[in-house]
Amino acid sequence: MQDPDSICLRRSSLSSAISALPPAISFTNLPDLASDHEADRLSARGFALGYIGGGLTLLIVFLMIQKYSWFGIADQGSATRLGFLLTGAWWLAFALPAFSWLKSVPITKHAHHALRTPRDYIKTFADLRQYKHLGRFLIAFLLYNDGIQTIIAVSAIFAREELGLGTGTILGCFLMIQFVAMPGALLFSRLAGHFNTKRAILVSLVLFTAITVYASIMKSAIEFWILGFAVAIVLGGSQALSRSLFSSMVPKSRSAEFFGFYAISSKFASIFGPLTFALLIELTGSNRIAILALAGFFVIGLVILLGVDAEQGRLQAESNGA
């Protein structure tokens, strides 16, 4: 009989791998749907609609669990299971328009890279030497995106243990973030239009650094909500613009390959933020010191991003992507 822990680990690994597939597949369409000048706007709108959809789903599931009798459900356990079913159905329903409306792109000699093996990932990593600015951006992204994901992941723990906030307050703040992130993504799209994509991302990283530093000293629920609002404003913009900047430096003939690498490498790198947070709590016993240390992911990512020349990255993609 198999060890239950082993089964759980395998299922978790499988679900993590599967969860990386939809973004990787959908992101590969961006170069075919928009020019470099239109990519910021399209990517931002996609993320904005995604946050609205996620917020509505979260609201419905939250109500189902808290007020299960309204929906004719027997208990909270059944409501929770139905919440997973609803989320999957929502995901499928809003994927159908893409299946119907997106044009089919001819298969290229690089298309087989959409299905990856470990050896393929090693080859893609080695090929980044031909795309210096793309590789530099990817390193910066992995760092600051890890910081973003860790802040989101540990915020509930911090709010409960350091601020004494209840589950309802924390979920309410998360729900607010989902809806505020929509105008935030559109705002940063306009900012990128006035300046450029890289500068807009740099602004978001400065703001994330300030948010993280302030989070380490905040004392009240009001401050938690204010910081949640600030996170929402920069969250959607930083993610949408990162995707469009990456897209602009990827050879179009190898977009599936590089976006697959983008998705999987970000999953792999996401262990370092939570690991840093956990180690610092173990060493210092302080959630505040652990939160403050996460600012380093944004600062280092910002410094590396300063060395990225997006125009040179586009030229490298054109010259090497044939």
What CA–CA distance (Å, rounded) separates 266 from 314?
22
What CA–CA distance (Å, rounded) separates 95 from 82?
20
> Largest Cα–Cα distance in the chain?
62
CB 267 within 8 A of CB 254: no
Amino acid in position 234:
V
Task: Considering the domain delimited by 23-95+118-320, tell me its CATH architecture.
Answer: Up-down Bundle (1.20)
pLDDT of residue 10: 44
Query: What are the structural domain ranges in the chain?
Result: 23-95+118-320
pLDDT of residue 264: 77
Residue 286, φ and ψ in degrees, nearest 5: -120, 120
**105 in helix, strand or coil?**
coil
Amino acid in position 55:
G
pLDDT of residue 36: 56
What CA–CA distance (Å, rounded) separates 314 from 249?
5
pLDDT of residue 12: 41
pLDDT of residue 117: 63
What CA–CA distance (Å, rounded) separates 95 from 198?
30
What CA–CA distance (Å, rounded) separates 46 from 236?
10
**218 in helix, strand or coil?**
coil
Angle at alpha carbon of residue 88, lines to 84 and 90, rounded to 5°: 115
pLDDT of residue 115: 46
Sign of the alpha-carbon dihedral angle for 218, 191, 135, 124: positive
User: Which residues touch 270 (CB under 8 Å, ≥6 apart)?
Assistant: 145, 146, 149, 150
* Continuous H helices in the chain: 4-27, 30-33, 36-66, 76-101, 118-127, 132-162, 167-194, 197-215, 221-248, 255-269, 272-284, 287-293, 295-306, 310-320
Q: What is the pTM of this model?
A: 0.77
What CA–CA distance (Å, rounded) separates 132 from 313?
7
Between the CA of residue 28 and those of 113, 212, 238, what are the distances in Å?
12, 32, 18
CB 66 within 8 A of CB 83: no
CB 200 within 8 A of CB 191: yes
What CA–CA distance (Å, rounded) separates 143 from 184?
21
Cβ burial 7-46 (10 Å sphere, 16+ → b, else e): eeeeeeeeeeeeebeebbebbbbbbeebebeebbbbbbeb
In a structure prediction context, what are the per-residue pLDDT tens digits for the chain, which is 322 residues long?
A: 455 544 443 444 444 444 444 554 555 555 555 555 565 566 666 767 777 888 788 888 888 888 888 888 888 888 888 888 888 888 888 878 777 776 655 555 444 445 456 677 677 777 778 888 988 999 999 999 999 999 988 998 999 999 999 888 888 898 899 888 888 888 888 888 888 889 999 999 999 999 999 999 999 999 999 999 999 999 888 888 888 888 888 887 777 777 777 777 777 778 899 999 999 999 999 999 999 999 999 999 999 999 999 889 888 888 775 4
What CA–CA distance (Å, rounded) separates 289 from 124?
37
